[in-house]
Amino acid sequence: MLFAFLMKQQLDYDYVIIGSGFGGSVSALRLSEKGYKVLVIEKGKWYKSKDFPRTNWDLKKWLWLPTFRLFGILKLTLFRHVSILSGVGVGGGSLVYANTLPIPNSKFFTSGNWKGLADWENDLKPHYATAEKMLGATKNPKFYDADLVLEKVARKMGKENKFDAPNVAVYFGRPDKEVKDPYFNGDGPNRSGCTFCGQCMTGCPHNAKNTLDKNYLHLAQKNGVQIIAEKIVKVVKPIESENGKNGYEIFYENSTSLFRKDKKCIKTKGVIFSGGVLGTVRLLLDMKSKKYLPNLSNEVGNHIRTNNENLSLITSRNKNIDLSKGVAIGSIFPPDENGHVEAVRYGKGSGIWKIPILPMVYGKHVFIRLFKLLKELVLHPIDWLGMYFTKNYAKKTIILLFMQHLDSTIKLKRGWFNLNSKVSSGDKPTPFIPMAKTIADYVAKEINGKAFMMSTDILTGAPSTAHILGGAVIGKNKKEGVIDVNQKVFGYKNMYVCDGAAMSANPGVNPSLTITAMTEMAMSKIKDY
């Protein structure tokens, strides 16, 4: 007892949160409200409205690639079985996501690894309501060209009654008119109304997007939470115990410096992993391999899901169309019982995605797809090559995001130099989803356009996703999962996983609201200080 008391006196923090995305931000605020001393460590940079790139051609501010001195808000990671887009910076994925906040249908709550472990749909219902309020969820009030195109497609598919505007995390006041905090009785920052410029995913320049630094993190800082940016955690290990009952040592260093790493160590009672799948799973695998956290479940890195997504880009030949106007995702409908499709846009001037894409071709083998590409080049050279010289690419291009709740999983494991992927259960994830192609063909016909896909999808057969999930899933016990129903890590005291890595099924819709709600529920189970 005396030793435990002395150790507590020597601790720097009650909780250290690794990552400042949806899970980390919720954890920071709720733990601070319970009286705990909290530190948030984020590897990315602080970004304010004035700091964001004007277009995605500004790689220094848009792309995260530290080796090349690029410290932007978007990270692209390539694996054998999936290409992953993820957010980096204080506020995590909220800086770069499409601010879309749907609730999954009922099948999500009764499938996957967490199936039958709780009444998830009803248990999470009040926490979804809290998450919606905190994130300022409101229905997109205006449709623009891309949304109207998707509405016509829904009508042709007999789904017009299912077509809708999604809830989005955007302040719709008077365009560019600054007002006092409209959400938290004046405790939040001043805000400005949305201009529907379409720049949500390159970083909102108008202070209208409800990123986490404007709600959860802002309020957490007012409660005394400390946030340090441009730091990456390298080691988490228990202090003088096997299960962390005496707390943990956390070693971190600079993430944006090539030479001056400035390594530091802090001590904490508890740890919350919130670095997203790539950050959390990588760190957990490292700690297990190096025997700093040997009690971790062997399921770490397993049951990773891609949300069964397909991304297609359709470029129009029409001169009088502006597909860049609106919020990033302004419309949604379910074309079948298994999935949803959304109309996605970038703001005017953002045309970098025309570089890594190729005409949409399907085929079981890469040689079939290459043959079809050659055929496209011979028969339609102007349609293909002319796209690369299209002026105002974002104005002429609609991105379709198709998602399914159907299950297929991969596994990430440590390799010689990096993480490697392998198929773990079910069919391997694929970008070649028939329904996605059907919708793309409808849209192409509607706007007199041509459909394209990511070149990595075509050449490797691996899908691209902005919603990588799992890897530290909920299970009945250590043999079936990494965390329990309260998102507490099996085998360790005061250790939690609160981010996309904890999601244990494919939602088939954008997952940010669900990550937020799940973390709200997990934090509600922690006792006050």
Helix (H, G, I), strand (E, B) or coil at 202: helix
The residue with tokens 């409808």 is 442
Structure-block tokens of residue 446: 């509607």
Structure-block tokens of residue 311: 């991304």
**H or E segment to which residue 414 belongs:** strand 409-414
Q: Is the CB of residue 449 less than 8 Å from the CB of residue 315?
A: yes
**H or E segment to which residue 410 belongs:** strand 409-414
Q: Dihedrals φ, ψ of 130, to 5°?
A: -65, -45
* Best CA proximity match to 495, nearest among 230, 227, 300, 306: 300
Q: How far apart are CA 32 and CA 28, in angstroms?
A: 6
Pairing of strands 83-87, 464-465: parallel
Structure-block tokens of residue 273: 């992993």
CA dihedral 178, 183, 184, 189 (to 10 degrees): -30
C-alpha 141, offset from chain centre:
24
Residue 308, phi-psi category: left (phi > 0), alpha (psi -120 to 50), beta (remainder): left
Angle ∠(143,149,150) on CA atoms, nearest 5: 85
Q: How far apart are CA 355 and CA 377, in angstroms?
A: 16
**H or E segment to which residue 272 belongs:** strand 264-273
Of 127, 340, 405, 467, the catalytic one is 467
Helix (H, G, I), strand (E, B) or coil at 431: coil
Active site residue 467: yes
The residue with tokens 């009672």 is 269
Count how many residues are written for the chain. 529
Question: Catalytic residue numbers?
Answer: 467
